[in-house]
Amino acid sequence: MKISIKHIFFKSLAIVLTIAISHFVYKTIYWEPELKDQGNMLFKLREFQWHNDIIYIGESSNYWISPADEDKRTISEMVNDSIEGQRLSGMQSPAFHAGMYLPIIENIDTRSRVKQLVVTMNLRSFGQPWIYSGSENSLQRTKCFYQSYAPLYNRMCAALGFYYNPQADAQEKKMLHCFEFDTLKVDFPLKYNTIKSWCDVVKFPLPDGTEDFPKRQLADHYIKAYAFQIDVENNIRIKDFDKIVEICKAKNIQLYYNILGENVQWADSLVGSELVYFMKANRDLLMERYSKKGVIMIDNLEEVPGDYFGEKDWTTEHYNQYGRLIVAKNVAKALNKAFELKSLKN
Amino acid sequence: MFLPLVFGLFFALPHKWRWLLILVASYFFYGWWKIEFLAIIIFSTIVDFVCAQKIDSSNNDAVRKRWLWLSLSLNLGLLFLFKYFYFFVGSTDWVQGLVHPHARLRDFVDFFGKALPVGISFYTFQTMSYTLDVYYGKAKPEKHLGHFAVFVSYFPQLVAGPIERFSHLNEQLKKHQYLNYKNLQAGFRLMLYGFFVKMVIADNLSYTVTSIFDEPTKWKFYWNIVGVFSFSFQIYADFFGYSLIAQGAAKLFGVNLMDNFNLPYLAHSITDFWKKWHISLSQWFRDYLYIPLGGNKVSKQRWVFNISIVFVLSGLWHGANYTYLFWGALHALFYLIERFFPFKIKSKSVAQIITFLSVSLAWIFFRANDFKSALAVFKGIFNIQAGGRQLDTQPFVFLLLLMFGLFEIYRKNKRFDHFCNQLNAAKRWAIYCFMLFCILTLSGTEYKAFIYFKF
């Protein structure tokens, strides 16, 4: 068969035209509903950024409400009700971390009304169980929809699996490796210098000679979630939070990092003061690092009493209405203070 | 990027080095999943290469048989170890109790519960067919280990078939191939159609199927019926799509892989269905199990036994689960009923509908995670009185499915690339552009691995 240049030209043209038409049709008809379903935070951002001075970005801590709560407001709604002269809206998605917030923040239009951004800083998200979480795969797929490329390209990345696609068993293997070999280095005597060795010795014997297994399981969760030291050189979350700082500077947005309250009381009573030491040390490191970078830090780590946590059998940042109110008040206080200072300057 | 790179290098290299490129590419492709499992495929290759040489060089039937048994037992042993050991042995209370106090031993046993080398059932059957062919004198053994390794690991069909015969594939792999426009055209056509079938039809149906099979009691009864039929089409589109992509990729290199499907849902009997569904596996079982067992040249009782064993094993071939075994047994039952049923259905359409319904019924056990779930789907279908929720599906998915079905019937048994040859350029390109448009805008947004990859 003879192949002419004309032949190739018309065939290439047909392909290019099909892609162009597909893009147009997709963007006009399918993109909005698909974004609402698959990339909800970006969907919300596209509207919120034109009607809000402040955006509050977080994970499930913002929307989790205890069935017993009379006040059903989310943290961001409580904050919005406690600030004056400014409007704030919250966007959240379960299990999101700084790496997921990053592309959303990149999408904030510099011409928009948003001049302040509150980002939740979940201490557990710096630890191995979250970094090597089995849900990372689906998060990364969602991330495709937040990329700042053409919507059709983003869609094809998600459909064809063109994203960081860690296998759940490989993730688990890495996590277990860290539990066994990542040593905790402190300047006081510590009996157990790895998560594994620590979990191995924590026991809750009962008078009948058996063990209080639920309590032991919970203590294990606490150790796995909090017994780590943030390595600022290599921790992936640090890199993501650093990038968020850079982006906000470039977009001229005042950034707030909201260190979420953890159940320090339970950590202390279940495992002991050594675990609390690591929680506080990591908090102090983050406070210092990001204050120096111009971020306004809101420290809620020890603010929420143990009884205000909604779930007692797991390590979460899910608070009842009183817990949410404490966090919200602290965020609002920081926002109001900055607003007053700005007003004074003006 | 992998395919264009290998394709470019293949035609840039002189013929004598191409086998090496394909071998490296195939091992890279396989190692991408889990590099450790490369050792298994290499072991299998060496065993069958040596055994076939020994079989061929000996005139003593006992010696030949010994080498054949060595090859078969090592291949089946590997298959058993990685696919069935944990299910039938390792997970039993007795073994678990025995290994539980010994951490290393427990980890060793549990490893086989988690590790399933991709495509092991496919390449093991392909290499076994080689030694059997050499033993029966149907094929001459390959003298070059590298060429043989390419036959075993040829990347377009490595992970999910078609299960090729040595005599068909090896000669093509060794042939000096030239860059050929017709091959490129056919290859791209097949791949385009394959991606369309997989991404637009199969992946879009997966939402309905997963919703129904995960929670069968949640939905109104008719959604369970929709779910069952959706799975019939999902698995067909998924596997047929893969086969087309494999054929297309091989065609780019000038290699023709066998057709694995021939409109199976238009079959007018279960016998006919198995001539049209996963043809390479059906033929494998026919040639290497059914016929050696005596085929139909045996007593009626023995024949019933032969049929039952072939179907049950073909079910088990898919995986270590009683649901697969039952699926195979159900097909055996349908086959036997069909054979011994005193009345023959005269209307072809009625026979086609009955066959399709029987096959779909059996798919329930294939798809369900366990018997309990399969029975729950059944219960859901007949639970007309009960409430239940509506499933939020996209109607366009079923519209596309209808179009796909009509197109399949229209093109009859002509392979897609041959069908396109009949059309003028405008019609051809209208079809290509429509498929590309559907892939880009209407495909499922969630990446789904091919269903048969897990077998």
Domain boundary among B151, B176, B201: B176
> Cβ of B441 and A152 within 8 Å?
yes
The verdict on residue B448 lying in a domain is no
Looking at the structure, tell me whether residues B214 and B290 fall in a common domain: yes
Which residues in chain A have their CB less than 8 angstroms from residue B183's CB? none
Nearest CA to B211 out of B367, B371, B401 is that of B367
Looking at the structure, tell me whether residues B172 and B188 fall in a common domain: no
The CA distance from B361 to B273, in Å, is 14
Which pLDDT score, from 0 to 100, does residue A346 have? Answer: 55
Closest residue in A to B438 (Cα) is A22
The SS3 assignment for A120 reads: strand
> Cβ of A141 and B447 within 8 Å?
yes
Write the pLDDT tens digit of every residue in B3-56: 999 999 999 999 999 999 999 999 999 998 888 889 999 999 999 999 999 999
**B160 pLDDT above the threshold of 70:** yes
The verdict on residue B35 lying in a domain is yes
DSSP class of residue B454?
A: G
> Cβ of A38 and B445 within 8 Å?
yes
Closest residue in A to B450 (Cα) is A160
B256 alpha-carbon distance from chain centroid? 17
Asked if B212 reaches chain A (Cβ–Cβ under 8 Å), the answer is: no
Rg, chain A, Cα only: 23
The verdict on residue B12 lying in a domain is yes
Residues of B annotated as catalytic (active site), given as ranges? 318
CB B4 within 8 A of CB B12: no
Sheet holding A254-259, edge to edge: A88-92, A54-58, A116-121, A254-259, A296-299
Asked if B199 reaches chain A (Cβ–Cβ under 8 Å), the answer is: yes
The SS3 assignment for A239 reads: helix
Which residues in chain A have their CB less than 8 angstroms from residue B433's CB? 14-15, 17-18
Nearest CA to A56 out of A298, A319, A312 is that of A298
**A2 pLDDT above the threshold of 70:** no
The parent domain of residue B284 ranges over: 182-442
Domain boundary among B176, B205, B232: B176
Write the pLDDT tens digit of every residue in B357-388: 999 999 999 999 888 899 988 888 887 776 67
ipTM for the whole predicted complex goes beyond 0.95: no
Sign for the pseudo-dihedral over CA of A298, A301, A303, A309: positive
The verdict on residue B451 lying in a domain is no
Looking at the structure, tell me whether residues B260 and B153 fall in a common domain: no
Query: Is domain A54-82+90-106+115-134+166-345 annotated with CATH 3.40.1130?
Result: no
The SS3 assignment for B219 reads: strand
The Cα-based distances of A74 to A89, A242, A305, A324, A326 in angstroms read 10, 27, 18, 7, 12
Looking at the structure, tell me whether residues B296 and B317 fall in a common domain: yes
Write the pLDDT tens digit of every residue in A280-327: 999 999 999 999 999 999 999 999 999 999 888 888 899 999 999 999
Interface test with A, best of B436, B443, B445 (most A CBs within 10 A): B445
The verdict on residue B66 lying in a domain is yes
Asked if A11 reaches chain B (Cβ–Cβ under 8 Å), the answer is: yes
Asked if B446 reaches chain A (Cβ–Cβ under 8 Å), the answer is: yes
Number of domains in chain B: 2
> Cβ of B446 and A159 within 8 Å?
yes
Looking at the structure, tell me whether residues B187 and B289 fall in a common domain: yes
The verdict on residue B259 lying in a domain is yes
Which residues in chain B have their CB less than 8 angstroms from residue A17's CB? 433
Amino acid type, B328: G
The SS3 assignment for A211 reads: strand
Q: How confident is the model at residue A190 (pLDDT cuts 50, 70, 90)?
A: confident
pTM of the model: 0.85
Q: How confident is the model at residue A343 (pLDDT cuts 50, 70, 90)?
A: low
CB nearest B199 (choices: A25, A159, A165): A159
